[in-house]
Amino acid sequence: MAGGRRKKQHFSRIHAFPCGKASLESDLSLIGGPGFSRVIYCNDPECFEAGVLNYGRNYVRTTKYTLATFFPKSLFEQFRRVANFYFLICAILSFTPLSPYTAVSNVVPLVVVIGATMGKELIEDWRRKRQDIEVNNRKVKVCIGDGVFHHTKWMNLKVGDIVKVEKDEFFPADIILLSSSYDEAICYVETMNLDGETNLKLKQALHETSNLHDDSSFQDFKALIRCEDPNANLYSFIGNLELREQQHPLSPLQLLLRDSKLRNTDYIYGVVIFTGHDTKVMQNSTAPPSKRSKIERRMDKIIYFLFFILVLMSFIGSLFFGIATREDLDNGRMKRWYLRPDDTTVYYDPKRAPAAAVLHFLTALMLYSYLIPISLYVSIEIVKVLQSIFINQDLHMYYEEADKPAQARTSNLNEELGQVDTILSDKTGTLTCNSMEFIKFSVAGTSYGRGVTEVGRAMAKRKGSPLPQEVIQEEAHVEEQTEQKPSIKGFNFVDGRITDGHWVNEPRADVIQKFVRLLAICHTAIPEIDEETGKVTYEAESPDEAAFLIAARELGFEFYGRTQTSISLHELDPVAGRTVESVMFERLAKNGREFQEQTKEHINEYADAGLRTLVLAYRELDEEEYSEFNQEFTDAKNSVSSEREEMIEEVAAKIERDLILLGATAVEDKLQNGVPECIDKLAQAGIKIWVLTGDKMETAINIGFACSLLRQGMKQVIISSEAPENKGLQKMEDKAAAAAASKASILRQISEGKALLTASSESPEALALIIDGYSLAYALQDDVKNKFLELAIGCASVICCRSSPKQKALVTRLVKTKTGNTTLAIGDGANDVGMLQEADIGVGISGVEGMQAVMSSDFAIAQFQYLERLLLVHGHWCYRRISSMICYFFYKNIAFGFTLFFYEAYASFSGQPAYNDWFLSLYNVFFTSLPVIALGVFDQDVSARFCLKFPLLYQEGVQNVLFSWRRIFGWAFNGVLSAILIFFFSISAMEHQAFNKGGKVAGLEILGATMYTCVVWVVNCQMALSISYFTYIQHLFIWGGIIFWYIFLLAYGAMDPNISTTAYKVFIEACAPAPSYWLITVFVLISSLLPYFTYSAIQMRFFPLYHQMIQWMRSDGQTEDPEYCHMVRQRSLRPTTVGFTARFSEHER
């Protein structure tokens, strides 16, 4: 079977492509030792030797459970929670004589709650299972002998199989590349699923296997591979291939990883070396760090507190019961004669009172279990899942251009979104688009391109200088051209001297020609030509590189392909190079510095305008010099010595010298839409914003001004390694002394900043801290970081420049652990993953740098501007809903549980419950649980429009106003007060009075039904008073819960007395016909709600919270009154010092 037409492509002499790192001799010597023992029999996976090794299958399982482990493992997960374990103990004890209720009535609610949670786990795991089935059943071509290839499922692959992967297919396992459709046995690989990078990687097979052109070539192919054991390192590989008794070193250049994709290559042949869970991608698939919200952690403390109250109540009850039992029989006289203490069991035996007290203690622990809300955890999980669905479906956070909605990747942290104190943000791709546009360049000392960037406009405003008249005219010209000519992505260059071929008329047209030609030649991009339209597009390693190629194409130098000796332009160009300016200027020849000063000046202007700059220079070589270089470079590249990398750098340095300067490019990475407005709103909400970027300081500062993170008049505390004394220190030969002196310099700068901070605290001036990566390395040391943090948190804005990914993560950890406040990190690239995972909340931007940040995040959005709505609207709502929901849960359980306790005290702690068994069991599951879920999903204190109009409302979450200990104990007190009013009013009204026309007094069953009716009414009406925003669903659940109680009482009471016990016809025969039943219900309801209503009225009138002030404004129609709105904003506890609102406020002062 033919492999298809071979592509002619030679890359052995292209310096621009990465040649990969071959295995070193010292590394190769490890093969066969510990950690390097893997042996692969290529094209012979069924041989005896391979069978003895027994390597794993290619079947992959990502599910949490299997059919056999689901029940034991899931049950273990459920009963790890203290509350659930407690209810399990109660359920077991309910089968003993100690139980105050029947076993069935106690077990059923536990089964329902645990079953609901396990059902959720099962559904989530089944989704993972379906994904596994889809992946494991993908097909790939495998050699089955005699050079014949057949399709087989991925899961059936074995180590040693020869596979043929075709264009745009994923690699089914970790594979060693043997050959490809290109003559040089190269292929292009997309690794977005592994590292989030969208640029293509070049791979190349060994020369010795590159002649395996088609299927039939593998008829007699046999080889032996010895390599490292499975590990998680994606970027290293050590091994060798034994072919015809010759050893050939293998490197990462030959390794194709599972889940990466073959691109721009018709097909490849390879041998499987790692399968299934041995593959590097599966070795890297560790569980993300477990994150829990602060509210959830506080909720655990409340549960423990309630356990303490429960034990205390049980102890007090058993103590009194023991004393009463001991005194029951005094000289033959029985006090509680109905218990027959003269002839009874151990439970009421006066002679064994201590034992009776201990047994009563166990009974009380079971009876008062209703203090602990059994359905709390499952209700919160349901609510959070529904909240996440609302976030995912919010059209205001849907980015139509890229078809990307917001995504809540975890529901555990919804309420944490409403408590963010500090945002730590990446810049490139997060605040900016990471979509570069070629806008200016400098050639032969002349600057071309008259467009003005957003940063440039901000800089002009900051300096108080109007834009030049010619720039304004040029901008008008740009707009006119845009209307006439469709815009080209990546090319925003407008200058009549250059466009439309006019550059040939410039005085130094020869230099411009070399400059643009260099842009078209010196790169690592791969062209793709549309066969129908002939249009060329580029797969580039970076957006900058793509912008250069598009600019060259638009200026007349189109790159469209590669060969062994040339790149697209039909002629060989002199060897050229480009690099960052600080390195390039050092390598210029004496006669190549003609435009150096003008170019440096232009570069500084471009950097001030927020543009990314790059210097271009070239050098002409004669044929003899090139041949000598090529030989040395090839020898260095093929070396396997430990100095291989140094040899390559040394050879490259020989030729990258005496360069002739051409000029510099400037590309713009525009701010995303809405970034300044979003930052302004977040600042008004009292959120501090830090920017952690790899850009140099000048660019970062100008971006800060453009997005209103910095403003004119704001004092800047700059901690920089560029300070004059530091520059000298870095050149010292004694590195230890240099490091100590640098550290002392950084400490001095921090101390000066703190002094400035102390002075500014007496005035309304705000400070901004700007620090570079070199200084940050010292600032993060253990003995310095606390001082650095004190300075940083006192500043309105913090910008960390030249930050490495590790430094980003360390800064995030420092802020999170030392301040104890909620941190949110937001980024879009693989270099932001550490920061996202370290923060309390990680938000990934699904931009152009792949999906690595998104895959490591808790929430994903397409644009930075959506962070405003995610926090100020959804964050505030979720925080309020979850806080109110938990407080109400504890209120209703305390109210219910204390009525049981009071009745126990009334009945001399006999262990007799006041309510029927099923009344007890269904209280939390049916009669009161649905309104709480509706509260957690639908309630709004104010609308989304007002959340955004009054960002200070967000401070309720930052200050934790709605879930403070004061508020929690307030709700607990309300619960105890409701229980007192319900019990004592019911007892007082029914104890000595005839209940019906026949003159009968109320018995236990009537008292229990009446008290329970009062509890159901009170807690549901309390919910109605607490809700700010009613929907039909809330009405249905609140009033439906009350109606359902009466329906249940009728239906349950109609059952056989052996089933309904004390509830048998209690409603239809006793309660319903008695006017006193209805009068007591109404009286108790009003009495129980009156304290809360009175407190709420006084608090709202004289001590309103932010949301209550806004509610008053809305009801009075004053939301558009600027004076009243300004007065409300003045109640903010944290002044706004960042954003354009702060800039205007400062200007007014």
By CB atoms closer than 10 A (0-12, 13-18, 19+), residue 784 is: middle
CA atoms within 13 A on the CB side of 379: 24
The one-character DSSP state at 1070 is I
**C-alpha–C-alpha distance, residues 656 and 399, integer Å:** 45
Q: At what angle do helices 294-326 and 353-367 cross, to 10 degrees?
A: 150
* Buried-state track 267-283, b at ≥16 Cβ within 10 A, e below 16: bbbbbbbbbbbbbbbbb
3-state secondary structure of 363: helix
For residues 283 and 231, the answer to whether their CB atoms sit within 8 Å is yes
Inter-residue long-range contacts of 1058-1067, CB under 8 Å, 24+ positions, other chains counted: 1060/916, 1061/916, 1061/917, 1062/916, 1062/1004, 1062/1005, 1062/1008, 1063/916, 1063/918, 1063/919, 1063/1005, 1063/1009, 1066/1005, 1066/1006, 1066/1009, 1067/1009
* Token pair belonging to 348: 């009421």
Q: From the candidates 161, 426, 669, 772, which is the catalytic residue?
A: 426
Q: Cα angle vertex 78, ends 72, 81, to 5°?
A: 135
User: DSSP code of 1067?
Assistant: I
The phi, psi pair for 225, rounded to 5°, reads: -115, 130
Annotate 134-160 with DSSP letters as a single string.
Answer: HHHT-EEEEE-STT-EEEEEGGG--TT
**Do 956 and 877 form a contact (C-beta atoms < 8 A)?**
no
For helices 1032-1053 and 1004-1026, give the axis angle rounded to 10 degrees.
170
Q: Which residues touch 560 (CB under 8 Å, ≥6 apart)?
A: 527, 529, 536, 568
- What's the rounded Cα separation, in Å, for the pair 464 and 457? 10
> Which of the 8 DSSP states describes residue 362?
H
Helix intervals (H) in 669-820: 675-684, 697-706, 724-729, 735-760, 773-779, 785-793, 805-819
In whole angstroms, how far apart are CA 304 and each of 82, 278, 307, 308, 665? 9, 44, 5, 6, 64
For 1032, what's the count of Cα atoms within 13 Å in the CB-facing half-sphere? Answer: 0
Q: What is the DSSP letter of 476?
A: H
DSSP H stretches of helix in 590-709:
596-608, 623-637, 644-655, 675-684, 697-706
On whether the CB atoms of residues 490 and 536 are closer than 8 A, the answer is no
Which run of H or of E encompasses 894?
helix 876-906
The answer to whether 728 touches 778, Cβ cutoff 8 Å, is no
Axis-axis angle for helices 509-521, 543-554 (nearest 10): 130
User: Would residue 394 show up in a list of annotated catalytic residues for this protein?
Assistant: no
Q: What are phi and psi of 133, to 5 degrees?
A: -60, -45
Residue-by-residue DSSP string for 897-952: HHHHHHHHHHTTT-S--SS-HHHHHHIIIIITHHHHHHHHHH--SS-HHHHHH-GG
Which string of b and e fits 1135-1147 if b means at least 16 CB within 10 Å? ebbbbebbbeebe
Residue 128, burial from CB neighbour count under 10 angstroms (0-12, 13-18, 19+): middle
Residues 6+ away with beta carbon under 8 Å from 715: 756, 760, 765, 766, 767, 768
Catalytic residue annotation: 426
